[in-house]
Structure 1
Amino acid sequence: MESFGVPWPPLNEGILYRDDLPATFPTSSLLDFYCTKYKHSAPREGWQQRILNGQIMVDGEVVEKLDRYVRAGNQLTYHRLPWTEPPAPWMLEILYEDDHLLAVNKPSGFQVLPGGLYQQRTVLTQLMWRYTSAADTQTQMQTRSCVPSPVHRLGRGTSGVLLCAKTKVVKSKLSVELAKGASLQVSNQFDICSVAEKHIVKIYRALVVGIIDIDETFIEEPIGMISYPGVLKGLYAATPEGKPSRSKVVVLQRDLKNNCTLVQVEIFSGRPHQIRIHLAFLGYPLKGDPLYISGGKPDTSHMALLEDFQQGIINQDDGGYLKPINPVPGECGYHLHAHKLMFIHPITEKPLQIVARCPSTLCMPGEECN
């Protein structure tokens, strides 16, 4: 199958953060504004450094004076300086493509959308480069809406089928179908919907620690955010206060010698880290998962490593607080693969099945592996 990708440059382009001050905004110094709104980004001395560096603009003009005041109606722009992002894959294998859809095989370690330290080294960037590289600047602006856009996410450490829409209409239709699963209500009825009924069926392969005795089981533990030191918004975990979630787990192979079980997982909702959390909740965390442990909660044994970063260590180049590369125990290393995606084509209305061959660690005997 065809693959595409461009090697990453040493530095990204940095990030622009914009703030439009509302009509009710009281007059304030530029420094006070950033120190108040973005206090978790840098200390006062750091924001002073950024202003003096010329990294902040007011209404399109660079400001390098600490005594500048801003008021309602001003547009502020802060330019975060370019940096070298952590290593990431850059090649994507095309599994399916037509005028409306693109499905790629995402490698483990490849982030889908910008976030955290990964602002350029993402699947979205490679899609933009591929589908605009042959056009001039004006044409790029006209065709940017045609750049395939991911309609769902896979965790950075998860490999496999990633479906993208080439038009807004297709993305809207697929988003509606995905939302049906996200809004499911917990019930005691475990009827398996057909593709025609559910429209989107997602099948995963996973390798877990321990031997699962039962051949088939369902997990309906709610998933929601819980507080976690070092992570401002917290982390997703199994919690009674979370949103309804449902997974079906089928045992494919038991490895008594290595104390692990190969399973197939079908998810009926799309909560973040759902499979990792649900299998850990069941008492069988993914093999190699450094974050989620039995019970479906994140590991807290490394907390001491984060305390230093909460004491205000400053990045001298940028003026901001130094952040750990991995604020949580890890986003990769676990064995999880999006194996199959089955759905009704939103335009042709014909059933489609897209398959990404499994890594060797997740293959059954006789299967063709990646």
Structure 2
Amino acid sequence: MNSEHSENRLEWQAESTGIGDRIDKYIVDRLEEEGEGGISRTQVQEWIKSGAVSVNGRLVKANYKLTLGDQVQVDVPAAEEPEIVAEDIPLDIVYEDSDVIVINKPRGMVVHPAPGHASGTVVNALMHHCKDLSGINGVLRPGIVHRIDKDTTGLLMAAKNDLAHVSLAEQLKEHSVSRTYIALVHGNMPHDQGTIDAPIGRDGQDRKLFAVTDRNSKEAVTHFTVLERLGDYTLLELKLETGRTHQIRVHMKYIGYPMAGDPVYGRSKTVDLNGQALHAAELGFTHPRSGERLHFTASLPDDFQHVMLSLRSR
């Protein structure tokens, strides 16, 4: 939601997508589509009980099912934003100027505060280091224009002011930001290269997960190139056209080559890593003020390199 302390009114008209869904599920899906993920059905049900949700001008219960043309209105209750504390956490800074900062994020570090991760995040560290960050994403995500998963390592850019934030966000939207990942997957991939063009949305069985689906999904495109075959594993270079949540992990599972070490989308018997073997190795973008094209690289972290040495020595 927005960071203001007034009600945020949302209005939608039910079209072909979502017809027959319960109203609580429909609202959660629409919020996710509009980049406001993280709102649970339980929370939406509380809004419904409080009278904050109406359909065609009438209050409804959570089990109301949408019909074509329904006018849905949600008055999202204002919420007090928690105070995010600056923390003196070391950062591996790859590049920094008055507009942008690029860091090499370690495994296990969450990008911004969220339920269960109120401190120790990249945002907490940036607030101590930079002092000033863009405010476009509100107090919980200052400076953050894109994310990588907690246990994914590698390059992440942040904006120090709103001018930089707007520029970087627009570049991401236009797919002009270049992002290259290195990943170790299960299986011996026979194709030297390929493209996965498969839409991603919430998993119908578990809303905490994502899956390739045609329902309430968004376009997702991943290009892969084989770097090395290591028996039952394959080392890949992956380039993203889009940046959906868990995109690479979901796409690799979808084509039958799940990420090594992935506790969510991977296999139970895997490599010895505290998380998926996925590293954001290269990042390129146009500087928001100078117009110069910048390109950065980050070597594989030590634990990933150790796994590779072990597989090569077998």
TM over 0.5: yes
Q: Does the 8 Å CA contact 1:339/1:358 hold for their aligned counterparts?
A: yes
Residue 240 (structure 1) aligns with? 214
Residues 1:265 and 1:228: Cα distance change in structure 2 (over 3 Å): same
1:251 and 2:193 aligned: no
1:356 aligns with 2:304: no
Q: How far did 1:347 drift?
A: 1.4
Partner Cα distance (2:266, 2:203) in 1:
15
Following superposition, the deviation at residue 212 of structure 1 comes to: 0.5
> Match of 1:277, SS?
helix
Question: Counterpart in 1 of 2:157?
Answer: 163
Cross-structure match for 2:262? 289
Deviation at 1:131, TM superposition (A): 2.6
Which contiguous aligned blocks of 4+ residues in structure 1 show a shift greater than 4 angstroms? 17-22, 37-41, 75-80, 143-148, 360-365
* 2:64 paired residue number: none
Match of 2:195 among 201, 211, 218: 218
How far apart are 1:288 and its partner, in Å?
1.0
Structure 1 residue 345: deviation in Å?
A: 1.5
Is contact 1:206–1:362 with CA below 8 Å preserved after alignment? no
Q: Match of 1:92, SS?
A: coil
> Is 1:347 aligned to 2:289, yes or no?
yes
Amino acid at match of 2:100: L
* SS at structure 2 position matched to 1:149: coil
Deviation per residue, 1:31-65 (Å, 9 max, x gap):
xxxxxx99948xxxxxxxxxxxxxxxxxxxxxxxx
Among 162, 165, 176, the residue aligned to 2:170: 176
Q: Structure 1 residue 145: deviation in Å?
A: 4.7
For residues 255-302 of structure 1, what are the alpha-carbon distances to aligned partners after superposition, in whole Å with 9 as ceiling and x for unaligned?
11xx111100000000000010111111100001121149xxxx9xxx
For each residue in 1:335-356, what CA deviation from the matched residue of structure 2 results, as whole angstroms up to 9, or x when unmatched?
0000000122121111211111
User: Is residue 249–residue 259 contact of structure 2 (8 Å, CA) maintained in 1?
Assistant: yes
Q: Which has the higher contact order (CA 8 A, sep 6+)?
A: 1
Deviation at 1:362, TM superposition (A): 4.8
Kept after mapping to 1: 8 A contact 2:134/2:165? no
The alignment of Structure 1 onto Structure 2 pairs a total of residues equal to 228
Q: Give how far 1:361 is off.
A: 5.7
Q: What is the letter of the counterpart of residue 170 of structure 2?
A: V
Per-residue CA deviations over 1:47-106 (Å, capped at 9, x if unaligned) read xxxxxxxxxxxxxxxxxxxxxxxxxxxx987899xxxxxxxx943200011121100010
2:263 and 2:275 in contact (8 A); partners too: yes
Of 280, 284, 290, 1:338 maps to 280
Q: Could you say what secondary structure the match of 1:339 adopts?
A: strand
Distance 1:222 1:76 in 2: 33
Shift of 1:151: 1.5
Q: State the TM-score, normalized to the length of structure 2.
A: 0.64
- Alignment partner for residue 278 of structure 1, among 251, 256, 259? 251
Q: Structure 2: which amino acid aligns with 1:288? A: G
Partner of 1:262: 235
In structure 2, distance between residues paired with 1:39 and 1:353: 41
Check whether the contact 1:205–1:362 (CA below 8 A) recurs between aligned residues. no
Larger radius of gyration between Structure 1 and Structure 2: 1
1:117 shift after superposition: 0.1
TM-score by length of 1: 0.55
* 1:57-136 equivalence runs, <5 A: 90-132=89-131
Q: C-alpha distance in 2, partners of 1:263/1:169?
A: 35
AA aligned opposite 1:205: I
User: Is the contact made by 1:148 and 1:167 (CA closer than 8 Å) also made in structure 2?
Assistant: no
Structure-1 residue corresponding to 2:74: none
Corresponding residue SS for 1:290: coil
Contact 1:102 1:148 in 2 (8 A): no
The whole-number CA distance in structure 1 between the counterparts of 2:185 and 2:78 is: 48
Residues 130 and 160 of structure 2 are in contact (CA less than 8 Å); yes or no, is this contact kept in structure 1?
no
C-alpha separation in 2, matches of 1:282 and 1:267: 16
The 1-side partners of 2:126 and 2:78 are apart by 30
Identify the residue that residue 53 of structure 2 maps to in structure 1. none
